[in-house]
Amino acid sequence: MDTLIEARNLSLRFSAPTEKKGSLKKWVLDALRGRVRSRHFLAVDDVSFRIDRGEAVGLVGRNGAGKSTLLKLVTGIVNPTSGSIAVRGQVAPLLALGNGLDPRLTGRENIYLNGAILGYEKAYLRAHERDIIDFSELGDFIDAPVRTYSSGMTMRLAFSIATAASPEILILDEVLAVGDAAFQAKCRARIGEIIADGATVFFVSHNLKDIQELCTRAIWLDHGRVIWDGSADDVCPVFGQFAALPFLSLSEFLPGGISDGTVPVVRFRNKRDGRHLLTAVREEMKNIVLKLSEWVCEGVVFRTFPEAGPGTVPLLRFLNLSNGVHALAVGEGEAAPYRERPDLWKYEKVVGHVFPVAAPGLVPVHRLARPDLPGIRIAVGDSERGAFLSTDPSLFVFGKPFYVQP
Amino acid sequence: MQATPSQPDSPCRPYRRPGFVHDGFLVAELVKRDFKARYDRSVLGMFWCVLQPTLTMGLLYAVFSLFFRHSIPNFPLYLISGIVFYQFFVETTTTAMQSIQENAALIAKVKVPLWTYPVTRAVSSLINFLFALVPLFCVVLLTRAPLRPTMLLLFYSTASMLVFALGVGLFLAALAVFFHDVKFLWGFACMLCMYATPIFYPEKVLMQGHHWMVYFNPIYHMIHFSRLALNGQVPTATEFAACAVFALLSIVAGTLVFRSLKNKFALAL
């Protein structure tokens, strides 16, 4: 497989002046006083990845995570502060739908102007002028000034020009939100065609469905760093849950250098039967096949200690080999029955270290089960236990609670 | 590896190769856009290219012919040659200076060789200048000045002026990205330049005790050269050299500044 895009330790530092920029006089005065104050921050922070020919990679992340900046580094619009980016092949950037169109020129004149800006050869535009006009569905309006177009018409023309050829590398920044539903479907089909032609695609969208449909792989960026580079089917559901919880910072949602030494535990709920799955580390979330259709991430529910400490017991997770359902055992005492049946129960891991008895500042975690279904539900705190029991009367509390840091 | 990703039925290459030569189409399209956009929705359209210098000349002639008619032989031709070249300089530098900022939206999104923006403005100004030569030659004919072979030397002064102004324009364009003040300063500088250069007053005025103002004024040399050519005189070797030296100094300095700053444009805009 040959690599078309390779980023190595890519960083971009912005120096945003703390005060508004603009005046020469002020700058000279400040420079003389030795205080051109600016705040540095890394818009892209030590990012490394490789994209091979024919791969379709989605880029996800919250607003301001550095997605667009990373695309600008890939297209060469900005240069990295450190690290390197190598791009081999013709890049067609669809970052600028409509930006290259001049409202004062007619649609036809804009085909040539915007085409030239996007890097097409004149002869190619001549040969494909008809196709572009046909695809845009503008008909006779093509000879009217673009300022008379509706915004949908403008975007249709821009999309038609931008995708007039199948490039080796296609960079898409939120471009599928073009025009009406029928035209959007046409756009998707065209992008699919370009991918089928063997193009390598780098795709930013807030629509995770589009990413899962078009991309095989997804890269999750947060504060300029790569959080997770994996299969789109793995990354998108987890990111989707994170994106839906805007009040949680990433360090709360996913462990990563937590200062007090505890590890957050993330709870997943099965959509079909409501059973829960607890997991502590990010690496494991990558490995667990969490199908979007089956599991819902409920975020961080409590914290555990990564190492055994005074008064703690391990929280062990077992997998039932016959039905794929997990069980939790508090301490080795509870784990003994599972360990006796290695043909049925597979020991998976220690989720974390928890307290077996109540103490100030700790909350109880209850395990609940139903007689007719395998699997358990995890209720954090007595109020959640009450809520679960009242919504589903056939649930019963299973075993003793364990105690954790909230 | 020459695998072109175009559709198999298309005989031509879809994307241009990187490089100076292959950006010609881009510059041509940008120049076309400049003209179409400038005269969009104006009744007279391109006719303004000719009308504007004519009107300026008419106005200045009405005012200054009272003072200088007798001290300058063929004052109308003296005046319009000065105006046309001065306007060429001002237009090239001013529009080139604004070219990066005015295309900010594009520069932040599409990778296009950045030099094409100021160069486009210089080419547009050159075309405008060529239109302005129409009223200039009308004045030549109306004042019954003879057409002389030395007038071909106008190509030389025009080329020097173009290169000189482009150099200044590149320098200003790069600077204006970071300091918006440059735009206002340059407006003032152009006005200063108009009064410091013998455009509508005789050269003698400055020769009395202000030699340096003339010798170190590149615009003066290029206008002076053109006037000699129009009057049928062959400029001296020093005059040839002065035009070339100023043009080269300017383009080298402008290019160096532009090149050293251009990587920061996308972030600063």
The CA distance from B263 to B252, in Å, is 18
Q: pLDDT value at position A210?
A: 84
* CB-closest option in A25, A79, A121 to B15: A121
Chain A residues whose beta carbon lies within 8 Å of the beta carbon of residue B13: 121, 123-124
At residue A387, does pLDDT exceed 70? yes
Please indicate if any CB of chain A lies within 8 Å of the CB of B16.
yes
Query: Between residues A294 and B113, which one has the greater pLDDT?
Result: B113
Least confident range from A30-39, A218-227, A229-238, B169-178: namely A30-39
Lowest mean pLDDT among A96-105, A318-327, B250-259: A96-105
Nearest to A166 among B7, B182, B185 (CB): B7
Q: Quick check: B15 contacting A, CB < 8 Å?
A: yes
pLDDT in tens, B12-47: 778 877 777 788 999 999 999 998 888 888 888 888
Highest mean pLDDT among A234-243, A343-352, B221-230: B221-230
For residue A99, give the nearest of B14, B36, B105 by CB distance: B105
Mean pLDDT of chain A: 81
Contacts of B25 in chain A (CB under 8 A): 116, 121-122
Q: How far apart are CA A183 and CA A135, in angstroms?
A: 9
From B258's Cα to the closest Cα of chain A, the distance in A is: 15
Higher pLDDT, A247 or B69: B69
> Do B40 and A91 lie within an 8 Å CB cutoff?
no
Give the pLDDT confidence score for residue A27 in this predicted structure.
Answer: 67
Cα–Cα dist A363/A340, whole Å: 31
**Does the beta carbon of B267 lie under 8 angstroms from any beta carbon of chain A?**
yes
CB contact B9 to A (< 8 Å):
no
Contacts of A240 (CB under 8 A, 6+ apart): A208, A292
CB-based contact (8 Å) between B6 and chain A?
A: yes
pLDDT at A232: 85
Residue B52 and residue B129 in contact, taking contact as beta carbons nearer than 8 Å:
no
Neighbours of B172 (CB within 10 A): 26
Q: Both tokens of residue A334?
A: 């509870």
**How confident is residue A259, by pLDDT bands cut at 50, 70 and 90?**
very low
A169 to chain B: nearest residue by CA?
Answer: B5
Three-state SS sequence of chain B: CCCCCCCCCCCCCCECCCCCHHHHHHHHHHHHHHHHHHCCCCCCHHHHHHHHHHHHHHHHHHHHHHHHCCCCCCHHHHHHHHHHHHHHHHHHHHHHHHHHHHCHHHHCCCCCCCCHHHHHHHHHHHHHHHHHHHHHHHHHHHCCCCCCHHHHHHHHHHHHHHHHHHHHHHHHHHHHHHCCHHHHHHHHHHHHHHHHCCCCCCCHHHHCCCHHHHHCCHHHHHHHHHHHHHCCCCCCHHHHHHHHHHHHHHHHHHHHHHHHHHHHHHHHC
pLDDT beyond 70 at B208: yes
pLDDT at B251 over 90: yes
CB pair distance less than 8 Å for A102 and B33: yes
Q: Under an 8 A CB cutoff, do A127 and B6 touch?
A: no
Using a CB–CB cutoff of 8 Å, tell me whether B208 touches chain A. Answer: no
Q: Is the pLDDT of residue B185 over 90?
A: yes
Best of B2, B6, B41, B177 to substitute, by most chain A Cβ atoms within 10 angstroms, is: B6
Complex-level ipTM beyond the 0.85 threshold: yes
Interface size between A and B, measured as CB pairs under 8 A: 121
User: Quick one: average pLDDT of B145-163?
Assistant: 94
Do A113 and B182 make contact, defined as CB atoms within 8 angstroms?
no
Q: Where are the domains of chain A?
A: 272-404
pLDDT classification of A258: cutoffs 50, 70, 90: very low
pLDDT at A109 over 90: yes
> A116 vs B25: CB contact, 8 Å cut-off?
yes
The string of pLDDT tens digits covering residues A273-315 is 778 877 765 545 545 545 556 777 777 777 777 677 777 888 8
Q: How far is B1 from chain A (nearest CA, A)?
A: 9
Domain boundaries of chain B, sorted by first residue: 23-268
Residue of A nearest to B1 (CA): A89
Percent of chain A beyond pLDDT 90? 17
Q: Does the pLDDT value for residue A79 go beyond 60? A: yes
B2 touches A: beta carbon within 8 Å: no
Q: What is the pLDDT of residues A172-182, one digit of tens each?
A: 887 766 667 88
**More confident: A248 or B249:** B249
* Amino acid symbol at A153: M
pLDDT higher than 90, residue A196: no
- Confidence grade of residue B128 (pLDDT, cut at 50, 70, 90): very high
What are the chain B neighbours of A120 within 8 Å (beta carbons)?
Answer: 14-16
pLDDT of residue A22: 56
B102 touches chain A (CB under 8 A): no
| Separation CA A184–CA A191 (nearest Å) | 10
Q: How far does A185 lie from chain B, in Å, by closest CA?
A: 21
CA pair distance B209, B202, nearest whole angstrom: 14
Q: Report residue B120's pLDDT band, with 50, 70 and 90 as the boundaries.
A: very high
Among chain B residues, the shortest Cα distance to A161 is held by B14
Three-state DSSP class for A179?
coil
Higher pLDDT, A137 or B109: A137
Which residue, A175, A198, A196, A197, is CA-closest to A187? A175
Shortest CA gap A127–chain B (Å): 8
Which of B5, B7, B267 comes nearest A90 by C-beta? B5
For residue A91, the distance in angstroms to the closest alpha carbon of chain B comes to 10
Residues in chain B within 8 Å Cβ distance of A93: 109-111
Tokens at A317, concatenated: 């997770």
Whether residue A260 is predicted with pLDDT greater than 50 in this model: the reply is: no
User: A359-380 pLDDT, tens per residue?
Assistant: 777 888 888 888 887 778 888 8
- Chain A interface test: which of B4, B21, B25, B106 (most A C-beta within 10 Å): B25
Instruction: Report the length, in residues, of chain A.
Output: 406
B26, B41, B109 ranked by CB distance to A99: nearest: B109
Which pLDDT does position A262 carry in this prediction? 61
Comparing CB atoms, the residue among B29, B37, B263 nearest residue A104 is B37
pLDDT of the residue at A18: 54
Which stretch, A89-98, B73-82, B221-230, has highest mean pLDDT? B221-230
Facing A75 at nearest CB: one of B14, B106, B111:
B111
CB contact under 8 A, A76 and B111: yes
Interface of B with A in 173-192 (CB under 8 A): 179-182, 185
Structure tokens at A38: 């600016």
B16 to chain A: which residues are within 8 Å by CB?
119-121
| A190 vs A295 pLDDT, higher one | A190
pLDDT above 70 (res A251): no
Q: Is residue A162 very low, low, confident or very high in pLDDT (cuts 50, 70, 90)?
A: confident
Distance of CA B138 to the CA centre of its chain: 21
% chain A with pLDDT above 70? 83
C-alpha distance from A109 to closest chain B C-alpha (Å): 8
What is the model's pLDDT at position A272?
A: 80
Q: A75: which chain B residues are within 8 Å (Cβ-Cβ)?
A: 110-111
Residue A350, token pair as written in the block: 């220690």
Instruction: For residues A194 and A159, give the distance between their C-alpha atoms in angstroms, rounded to a whole number.
Output: 13
Residue B115 tokens, joined: 């030099």
Contact between B30 and A116 using a beta-carbon 8 Å cutoff:
yes
Residue A349 has φ and ψ, to the nearest 5°, of: -175, 170
Question: Following CA atoms B108, B112, B117, B120 in sequence, which dihedral angle do they give, to the nearest 10 degrees?
Answer: -150
How confident is the model at residue B67, as a pLDDT?
83
Mean pLDDT, chain B, integer: 89
pLDDT of residue A255: 47
Range from A9-13, A308-312, A318-322, B120-124 that averages highest in pLDDT: B120-124
**CA dist A239 to A215, A249, A277, A286, Å?**
15, 12, 17, 12
Q: Do B180 and A90 touch (CB under 8 A)?
A: no
Radius of gyration (C-alpha) of chain B in whole angstroms: 21
